[in-house]
Amino acid sequence: MTWSTAITKIEPNKITVRGHVLSDLIGVTRFGQMVYLLLIGKMPEDKVGQLIEAILVSSVDHGVTPPSCVAARTVASCGTPLTSALAAGILSIGNFHGGAVEDCMQTLQRGIAMQKDGLSPAQAAEAIAKEAKEAKKRLSGLGHRLHTDDPRTRRLIEFARELGLAGQGVEQAEALVAAIGKTSSKTLPLNVDGAIAALLVDLGFPPEAGNAFFIMSRVPGLVAHILEERRREKPMRTIVPAEAAYDGPGA
Amino acid sequence: MTWSTAITKIEPNKITVRGHVLSDLIGVTRFGQMVYLLLIGKMPEDKVGQLIEAILVSSVDHGVTPPSCVAARTVASCGTPLTSALAAGILSIGNFHGGAVEDCMQTLQRGIAMQKDGLSPAQAAEAIAKEAKEAKKRLSGLGHRLHTDDPRTRRLIEFARELGLAGQGVEQAEALVAAIGKTSSKTLPLNVDGAIAALLVDLGFPPEAGNAFFIMSRVPGLVAHILEERRREKPMRTIVPAEAAYDGPGA
Amino acid sequence: MTWSTAITKIEPNKITVRGHVLSDLIGVTRFGQMVYLLLIGKMPEDKVGQLIEAILVSSVDHGVTPPSCVAARTVASCGTPLTSALAAGILSIGNFHGGAVEDCMQTLQRGIAMQKDGLSPAQAAEAIAKEAKEAKKRLSGLGHRLHTDDPRTRRLIEFARELGLAGQGVEQAEALVAAIGKTSSKTLPLNVDGAIAALLVDLGFPPEAGNAFFIMSRVPGLVAHILEERRREKPMRTIVPAEAAYDGPGA
Amino acid sequence: MTWSTAITKIEPNKITVRGHVLSDLIGVTRFGQMVYLLLIGKMPEDKVGQLIEAILVSSVDHGVTPPSCVAARTVASCGTPLTSALAAGILSIGNFHGGAVEDCMQTLQRGIAMQKDGLSPAQAAEAIAKEAKEAKKRLSGLGHRLHTDDPRTRRLIEFARELGLAGQGVEQAEALVAAIGKTSSKTLPLNVDGAIAALLVDLGFPPEAGNAFFIMSRVPGLVAHILEERRREKPMRTIVPAEAAYDGPGA
């Protein structure tokens, strides 16, 4: 034995994930708890699983315009397997698409670390906002091309409060919005990536796992697009999102 | 407008998925229900979401030996982004790894179709088993290299029965195991792919979505392996699963 | 030792590919010969390398419309590494894009096999054309959406003749065009995929390697598009091929 | 028209790449020249094409141990299409595998830039070596796990000299080896990545294209491994490079 793994132990007729017999979890453990168990290593309370599923639900799809959808549909259009189209969609998740979660988690953790040096959340937020303004750098997790007041953001934060799981991450994120509001003429609300970042910080996830949540959330959405592409469209077509009409059920 | 999509409608500050306002679903709808909503188009009862999450939990990880894990860790070992390693893992899911779900769903649907022609589940199963034997073709969803009596299989079927969601798919799968037992000296139990196939048939999913469930289930497991690879191992190493010891918590 | 490879032997300070010391080939062997050496296992004459390079040159790029270009640019637009964008482009090469080479090679090999049963190339072609017409199946390698008389096709066949490398594959391909012309009111010329298929058959490559030639040829084109996307365009944009103007040098 | 491309102009029956009619290049232009034309935008002399092909030949394969080969074979072993296995191999090319070319090009360009400030190549190299030593950073392009005197390196540099194409890149690379030799007890020879980096600098390629050359070179090698895996091995196997024997032809 030359290396070790602490994730899953495999024995004949027995699979143990992070110390829990997998078959005992079936029908008992939510998918959201399972994600926490796998990435953090401990079985969380049910409410942690609920909050994780709320996060996964919030980013499950955003229509045909995101690059991940265009890439997945383009590849699906060529008669390829589901895995090829899905892989192409996932590969588009990078610095400029989905990557805001990881970035924003780092910013929030930095603010929280400043608080250990005696700054209040507001002071830490103002220092970060000032620095970004001077460096002419846009902070991730704030503002949105289309949504000026994203209801997903508000609902996610509210739900974390209902569960008693909102902590320093949410506090620091809200302080940041306030600090930016002071230094800038235009208000930049927390977007859904910023809200997810705040909640993941409060749940104890490391920033490097941030993109994973966006991906886990978006996979079923991408699968839905890939299957729709196969069923409704002719092969080898160019996907032009601006030419797509929505013809599904009304709200 | 030159084409249509029935998945998600995007308006400023409003996202509607399959006719449901997304922000209203946050904290209310399980991830399992969301998967059904996206792929089938209707919001299911909570218990359907529970069964889907049971399926997702059952295949979340299988240690370091599956090719998807080896591929993901190999790519992660080269200092690549999470998305690259995850895409490589997903690309390994094909005919011989994960693909059994889709294959087995087709077999079960064929058996169910035969029942419409007047055959009993047992007669349909015997016809399919005989045909496979004559063609020297191994039926997907039966037997396992390591697990002779996979507790995940039993628990999944049992849980579907508890929820009142086991139907013709489960019946046909069990008839198939019995039919194979008659024609062959060695018993071939239903494996976890076969159990998932039976439940997905009973939930009304099309076979072409079968692999998607394996992928959605395995993504958090692959992410856990990728993050572990980065944290614990030196770069550019060869992943030899047979040399890995489990050093995580005991059951 | 539990398995074997016949491709490359690695020793300290010595790399031997298919029996040839790699450092001795540098500056002597064309890239086209190297492709043959790797895939067939023997070092070919220089003229075989010339013909392979002619094939690789012929499909090196086709502007911004092919799905492989759209997928690669879409992923590149998200701030991802070169490898992610390139992988997405390659993943789009499937049944409906690039796959014609493999399909057409199989058709031509079938025609050649029929000749062993006493049919002339024209008779074999007529049998294949008749069968396709009856099955309402379009034969791969014939006809093109845009090019009614593709100069690449003519030049590739002509060059193979100049080198004395055109054989039964070319003969069967030309017989097929003639046979289709007889059964159909509209002429279907050999397209560039069909020409490549004919030449690969004459060079002795197996059909399963057909797509590989399209990929090897297209990789530098995709790299050029990825680098151009990064340099000239804003991040996270939607790639609409129909809105692209050519602003490069004139012929 | 909302955006522009300077790569390829598509007209009916006419494809013009960087101002050159593609069909006129078939049989005339080497693949190496084509790569230069696509990435730099101008048609180079034949000898530039020869040097590029020498680079592509030099890294075409390195047996079964590189992660790109393990990833490609692992995915191929699952019964997936060629494109899936190839994409997985390419995705493993990152910071620690293949990435040395880009890194080393940046180092060499920095050394050359220092010369504009009046330093000799040796002085620039010594400044870079000293800085790396102080930062305890390993310089890319120097040293190799297995090859202490890589004959590919020597032959590549020699061939560039024969063609009259070795310039400041090669000079700076050799100065760097000498500078490291002075500050360290153990000699670190230029490895093949370092040699390729030096030549690409002298040919005028930007560092961001560095990895592309490793990929273009390795694609035929990966294809050979994928086809061999399919033909010779059982599905769903674990690839253990240390257990592979070479059974191909002798030198």
Encode pLDDT of B164-207 as tens digits.
999 999 999 999 999 998 877 777 899 999 999 999 999 999 99
In terms of phi and psi (left: phi > 0; alpha: psi -120 to 50; beta: otherwise), the region of A127 is alpha
With a CB cutoff of 8 Å and minimum separation 6, the contacts of C198 are: C104, C108, C141, C157, C166, C169, C170, C172, C173, C190
**Residue predicted with more confidence, A145 or B51:** B51
Mean pLDDT of chain B: 95
Mean pLDDT of chain C: 95
The C-alpha torsion from B87 through B89 and B95 to B98, rounded to 10°, is: -120
Nearest CB partner across the interface for B63, out of A8, A56, A233 = A8
In this prediction, residues A169-188 reach a mean pLDDT of: 90
At D186 the pLDDT is 77
Looking at the predicted structure, is the pLDDT value of residue C34 above 80? yes
At A183 the pLDDT is 79
At C92 the pLDDT is 97
In this prediction, residues D211-233 reach a mean pLDDT of: 97
Nearest CB partner across the interface for B208, out of A14, A21, A227 = A227
User: How many CB atoms neighbour CB D210 within 10 A?
Assistant: 26
Distance between CA atoms of residues A82 and A70, nearest Å: 14
Question: What residues of D are in the B interface, CB distance below 8 Å?
Answer: 65, 67, 70-71, 74-75, 77-80, 84-85, 87-88, 91-97, 99, 235-236, 238-242
Q: Tell me if C70 sits within 8 A of C239, measured CB to CB.
A: yes
CA B193 distance to own-chain centroid: 6
D28 phi and psi, to 5 degrees? -110, -45
In this prediction, residues B54-64 reach a mean pLDDT of: 97
At A90 the pLDDT is 98
Q: Which of A109, A220, C60, A82 is nearest to D36 (CA)?
A: C60
- R_g of chain B, CA atoms, integer Å: 20
pLDDT band per the 50, 70, 90 thresholds, residue B15: very high
For testing contact with chain A, the best of D3, D10, D78, D83 (most A CBs within 10 A): D83
Tokens at D10, concatenated: 């598509």
pLDDT in tens, A34-58: 999 999 999 999 999 999 999 999 9
Coil/strand/helix, residue A150:
coil
Distance between CA atoms of residues A35 and A43, nearest Å: 9
Distance between CA atoms of residues C66 and C59, nearest Å: 12
Q: Tell me if B61 sits within 8 A of B54, measured CB to CB.
A: no
Question: What residues of A are in the D interface, CB distance below 8 Å?
Answer: 80-81, 83-84, 87, 91
Segment among A14-18, A63-67, C94-98, D244-248 with least mean pLDDT: C94-98
Q: How far is CA A158 from CA A104, A153, A163, A186, A202, in A?
A: 19, 9, 9, 24, 14
Angle CA(A156)–CA(A161)–CA(A165) in degrees, nearest 5? 95
Tokens at A142, concatenated: 């704030």
SS3 of B177-239: HHHHHHHCCCCCCECHHHHHHHHHHHHCCCHHHHHHHHHHHHHHHHHHHHHHHHHHCCCCCCC
In this prediction, residues D209-225 reach a mean pLDDT of: 96
Nearest CB partner across the interface for C225, out of D7, D53, D65 = D7
Residue C190 pairs with which residues in a beta bridge? C142
Coil/strand/helix, residue B14:
strand
At A97 the pLDDT is 82
Distance between CA atoms of residues D63 and D51, nearest Å: 23
Question: D242 vs chain A: nearest CA distance in angstroms?
Answer: 14
CB contact under 8 A, D31 and C53: yes
In this prediction, residues D196-225 reach a mean pLDDT of: 97
Looking at the predicted structure, is the pLDDT value of residue C115 above 90? yes
Residues of B in contact with A1 (CB under 8 A): 243-245
pLDDT band per the 50, 70, 90 thresholds, residue A144: confident
In this prediction, residues B11-26 reach a mean pLDDT of: 97
Residues of A in contact with D80 (CB under 8 A): 81, 83
Segment among A29-33, C182-186, D90-94 with least mean pLDDT: C182-186
- The amino acid at B156: L
Looking at the predicted structure, is the pLDDT value of residue A186 above 80? no
At C99 the pLDDT is 84
Residues of B in contact with D99 (CB under 8 A): 79
Distance between CA atoms of residues D63 and D195, nearest Å: 20
At A5 the pLDDT is 98
Distance between CA atoms of residues B65 and B86, nearest Å: 16
Question: D140 vs chain A: nearest CA distance in angstroms?
Answer: 25
At C186 the pLDDT is 76
pLDDT in tens, B108-164: 999 999 999 999 999 999 999 999 999 999 899 998 878 888 899 999 999 999 999
At A99 the pLDDT is 84
pLDDT in tens, D160-210: 999 999 999 999 999 999 999 887 777 789 999 999 999 999 999 999 999
**Looking at chain C, which subunits does it touch, using at least 3 CB pairs closer than 8 Å as the criterion?**
A, B, D
Residues of B in contact with D71 (CB under 8 A): 71, 74-75, 88
**Looking at chain B, which subunits does it touch, using at least 3 CB pairs closer than 8 Å as the criterion?**
A, C, D
pLDDT band per the 50, 70, 90 thresholds, residue A61: very high
**Length, in residues, of chain D:** 251
Which DSSP string do the residues of B25-86 spell out, in sequence order?
HTTTS-HHHHHHHHHHSSPPPHHHHHHHHHHHHHTS-BTB-SHHHHHHHHHHTTT--HHHHH
**Looking at chain D, which subunits does it touch, using at least 3 CB pairs closer than 8 Å as the criterion?**
A, B, C
Looking at the predicted structure, is the pLDDT value of residue D246 above 80? yes
Query: Exposed, middle or buried: residue B169 (CB in 10 Å: 0-12, 13-18, 19+)?
Result: buried
In this prediction, residues A60-71 reach a mean pLDDT of: 97
Question: What residues of B are in the C interface, CB distance below 8 Å?
Answer: 80-81, 83-84, 87, 91
The C-alpha torsion from D40 through D41 and D43 to D44, rounded to 10°, is: -20
Tokens at B66, concatenated: 């599956």
Produce one character per residue of B10-41: b if its CB has 16 or more CB atoms within 10 Å, e if not: beeeebbbbbbebbebbbebbbbbbbbbbbbb
Residues of C in contact with B83 (CB under 8 A): 80, 84
At D97 the pLDDT is 82
CB contact under 8 A, A91 and C70: no
At A149 the pLDDT is 85
**Length, in residues, of chain C:** 251
Distance between CA atoms of residues D110 and D116, nearest Å: 10
Looking at the predicted structure, is the pLDDT value of residue D148 above 90? no
SS3 of chain C: CCEEECCEEEECCEEEECCEEHHHHCCCCCHHHHHHHHHHCCCCCHHHHHHHHHHHHHCCCECECCHHHHHHHHHHCCCCCHHHHHHHHHHCCECCEECHHHHHHHHHHHHHHHHHCCCCHHHHHHHHHHHHHHCCCCCCCECCCCCCCCHHHHHHHHHHHHCCCCCHHHHHHHHHHHHHHHHCCCCCCECHHHHHHHHHHHHCCCHHHHHHHHHHHHHHHHHHHHHHHHHHCCCCCCCCHHHEEECCCCC
Strand A244-246 to B3-5 pairing: parallel
Q: Which of B58, B70, B42 is nearest to B101 (CA)?
A: B58
Supply the angle between the helices C121-134 and C168-183 in degrees, to the nearest 10: 50
Distance between CA atoms of residues C78 and A91, nearest Å: 9
- The amino acid at C123: Q
Looking at the predicted structure, is the pLDDT value of residue C184 above 80? no
List of E strands, chain D: 3-5, 8-11, 14-17, 20-21, 244-246
Looking at the predicted structure, is the pLDDT value of residue C144 above 90? no
In this prediction, residues A149-154 reach a mean pLDDT of: 92
The C-alpha torsion from A14 through A20 and A23 to A29, rounded to 10°, is: -170
Nearest CB partner across the interface for D80, out of B65, B94, B236 = B94
pLDDT band per the 50, 70, 90 thresholds, residue A126: very high
CB contact under 8 A, A88 and C78: no
Tell me which DSSP letter residue A175 carries.
H
State whether the Cα torsion B98-B102-B107-B109 is positive or negative: positive
At B57 the pLDDT is 98
For testing contact with chain A, the best of B1, B2, B7, B148 (most A CBs within 10 A): B7
Q: Tell me if D145 sits within 8 A of D197, measured CB to CB.
A: no
Looking at the predicted structure, is the pLDDT value of residue B91 above 80? yes
Q: Tell me if A17 sits within 8 A of A37, measured CB to CB.
A: yes
Looking at the predicted structure, is the pLDDT value of residue B39 above 90? yes
In this prediction, residues A105-128 reach a mean pLDDT of: 96
Q: Tell me if D78 sits within 8 A of B214, measured CB to CB.
A: no
Tokens at D47, concatenated: 């000898």
SS3 of D208-229: HHHHHHHHHHHHHHHHHHHHHH
pLDDT band per the 50, 70, 90 thresholds, residue C205: very high
Question: C129 vs chain D: nearest CA distance in angstroms?
Answer: 25
Looking at the predicted structure, is the pLDDT value of residue C243 above 80? yes
User: How many CB atoms neighbour CB B163 within 10 A?
Assistant: 16
pLDDT band per the 50, 70, 90 thresholds, residue A2: very high
At A49 the pLDDT is 98
Distance between CA atoms of residues D22 and D19, nearest Å: 9
pLDDT band per the 50, 70, 90 thresholds, residue D20: very high
Tokens at A104, concatenated: 């924003």
For testing contact with chain C, the best of D14, D29, D57 (most C CBs within 10 A): D57
Residues of B in contact with D80 (CB under 8 A): 91-92, 94-95
Question: D27 vs chain B: nearest CA distance in angstroms?
Answer: 37
CA C211 distance to own-chain centroid: 6
Looking at the predicted structure, is the pLDDT value of residue B95 above 80? no
Strand C244-246 to D3-5 pairing: parallel
Tokens at A91, concatenated: 């590969």
Nearest CB partner across the interface for A84, out of C77, C91, C240 = C91
User: How many CB atoms neighbour CB A210 within 10 A?
Assistant: 26
pLDDT band per the 50, 70, 90 thresholds, residue A72: very high
Which residue does chain B place closest to A213, by CA atoms?
B220
| Percent of chain D surpassing pLDDT 70 | 100
pLDDT band per the 50, 70, 90 thresholds, residue B94: confident
**Residue predicted with more confidence, B67 or B97:** B67
Coil/strand/helix, residue B148:
coil
